[in-house]
Amino acid sequence: MTTSSTHSSRLLLSVVALLILVACWFPGINAPATKNIEAGLERSLATFATARALGAALSVAQGTQVSVQPGGVGVSFAPGQALQPLNELVDKFADVMLVASVSFGIQMLLMKIGAHEAVAIATSLAVVLWWVAGMWRGGGTWAARWSRPLLVATLLVRFAVPLTTLGNEAVYGAFMSAQYKEVSANVEEADHKVPTAVSELPQAKGGIWDILDRWKKVLENVKEGLDYKAILNEAKDLSAKIVSLIAIFVLQTIVLPVAFLWMLWRSARVLVGSFAVEIRGK
pLDDT tens column, 162-213? 999 999 999 999 999 998 988 888 887 766 655 554 444 444 444 433 444 5
151-160, 201-210, 250-259, 261-270: least confident range: 201-210
Q: Does 225 score more than 50 pLDDT?
A: no
What average pLDDT does the chain have?
A: 77
One-letter amino acid at 266 equals R
pLDDT at 50 over 70: yes
Residue 204 is predicted with a pLDDT of 43
Q: Which residues of 178-210 are buried (b: 16+ CB within 10 A; e: fewer)?
A: eebeebbebbeebbebbbebbeebeebebeeee
**Amino acid identity at 68:** V
d(CA 125, CA 154): 10
**DSSP 8-state secondary structure symbol assigned to residue 80:** G
Is the pLDDT reported for residue 223 higher than 70? no
Cα angle 254, 90, 98; round to 5? 40
What average pLDDT does range 231-236 have in this prediction? 59
CA gap 223, 2 in Å, rounded: 91
**pLDDT value at residue 281:** 46
Q: Are 104 and 168 in contact (CB under 8 A)?
A: no
Predicted pLDDT at 122: 94
Q: What backbone torsions phi and psi does residue 66 show, to the nearest 5 degrees?
A: -110, 115
pLDDT at 72 > cutoff 60 = no
pLDDT at 231: 55
Q: Which of 8, 69, 39 is nearest to 173 (CA)?
A: 39
How many CB atoms sit inside 10 A of residue 70's CB? 21
Query: What pLDDT score was predicted for residue 232?
Result: 58
Contact present, 242 and 187 (Cβ < 8 Å): yes
Give me the numbers of helices (H) and strands (E) for the chain, helices first please. Answer: 10, 2
Per-residue pLDDT, 201: 46
Residues 241 and 98: their CA atoms lie apart, in Å, by: 18
7 vs 72, higher pLDDT: 7
| Span 107-123, average pLDDT | 93
Within 10 A of 245 (CB to CB), how many other CB atoms are there? 23
Q: What is the largest CA-CA distance in the chain?
A: 113
Residues 151, 162: Cα–Cα separation, whole Å = 17
Cα angle at 155 between 152 and 159, to 5 degrees? 145
Residues 6+ apart with CB under 8 A from 237: none
